[in-house]
Amino acid sequence: MGRIIRIVIYAVIIIAVYFLVMEMLNHYYKNKKESDLVRVSAVNDTIINEQDTAILEDDAQLDTFGLIKSEEIVSGVIDYKEVDKKTKSLEEKKTSNNTTKPAIKPKVETIKSIPETVTTSSSGLYSVVAGSYLIKENANKMVQSLKTKGFESAKIVVFPASEYHTVVVSSHKTRQEAELVLNSLKSKGIDSFIKVKS
């Protein structure tokens, strides 16, 4: 029983110290923010006074730029209708400076749809496969790429009991013929393999 009481006392002390430290940190950061704001305000006032004295003295020039005067902000009395007019005039100036350009249409690549062939037999026992895709458009892109690289016999095949669109580059009667095509594909940077019909 004495051990439980000690644990509870330690827990209460730890929680009290935690809240004390958090309160001290909050107080420190709050004072630091206030002092930073005072420093930034003083620096801004100095910069404005040194560089822009001539501009700020002329109220008419301020109105031509559509700026809100610092007296309006400091006094706390703000005529919101006047503020709205000034913001609208600034927006109009901004939009009048921007010339409207016609929208650039994105380049759309059209891919001819390759007819899908479900095959159970072909001219050869060895098929050179360049990929299998779940999405037909991806298979179409690969076939188009192969045709532009000189493999005109490339086609999409969906094998029985498969949901993938397989890109078959060519089918051959001998493995040596298939390996020649395979090496040609690999030399052009296209991953491929030989599928043997069973």
pLDDT tens digits in sequence order for the chain, 198 residues long: 788 999 999 999 999 999 999 999 888 887 777 766 656 555 555 555 554 554 444 444 444 455 555 555 555 566 777 778 888 887 887 777 655 555 566 665 555 544 444 333 356 889 899 999 989 999 999 999 899 988 888 999 888 888 899 999 998 899 998 999 999 898 888 888 998 887
Look up the pTM and report it: 0.40
DSSP classification of residue 109: P
| The one-letter amino acid at 87 | T
What is the Cα–Cα distance from 29 to 188, expressed in whole angstroms?
A: 63
CB-based contact 95:87 (threshold 8 Å): no
Q: Yes or no: say if 168 and 131 are a contact pair by the CB < 8 Å rule.
A: no
Report the distance separating Cα 151 and Cα 168, nearest Å: 10
Residue 48's pLDDT is 52
- C-beta separation of 149 from 188 below 8 A: yes
- The total number of residues shown for the chain amounts to 198
- Between strands 155-157 and 165-172, the pairing is antiparallel
Q: How far is CA 138 from CA 87, 133, 159, 166, in A?
A: 51, 6, 17, 10
CA-to-CA separations, 174 to 85, 89, 94, 186, 195, in angstroms, rounded: 83, 80, 72, 19, 12
Q: Which CATH number fits domain 116-196: 3.30.70.1070, 3.90.79.10, 3.40.50.720, 2.40.33.20?
A: 3.30.70.1070
Tell me the domain boundaries of the chain. 1-51, 57-97, 116-196
Tell me the Cα Rg of the chain: 38
Q: Measure the CA–CA gap between 151 and 111, rounded to whole angstroms.
A: 17
